[in-house]
Amino acid sequence: VIRNLEKFFRKKNFKKLCFLDVGTGTGILSFVTYKLSNKKINATDIDLESQRCFYRNAKLNSISNFRFYRCYGLNNHYIKKKKFTLIVSNILLLPLKKLAKDFKKHLQSGGILIVSGILYSQKNDIVNCYSKFNLKLVKSIHIESWVSLIFKKYAIN
Tens digits of per-residue pLDDT, 65-85? 999 999 999 999 999 989 999
Whether pTM exceeds 0.85 = yes
CB burial of 134-152 (b: ≥16 within 10 Å; e: otherwise) equals ebebeebeeeeeebbbbbb
Whether residue 157 is predicted with pLDDT greater than 60 in this model: the reply is: no
pLDDT tens digits, 103-140: 999 999 999 999 999 999 999 999 999 999 999 999 99
CB burial of 37-66 (b: ≥16 within 10 Å; e: otherwise) equals bebebbbbbeeeebbebbeebbeeeebeeb
Q: What percent of the chain has pLDDT over 90?
A: 85
Query: What pLDDT is attached to residue 7?
Result: 83
Closest CA relative to residue 50, chosen from 68, 64, 31, 32: 68
Distance CA 96, CA 117 (A): 9
Neighbouring C-alpha atoms within 13 Å toward the C-beta of 115: 25
pLDDT tens digits, 3-45: 889 888 887 666 688 999 999 999 999 999 999 999 999 999 9
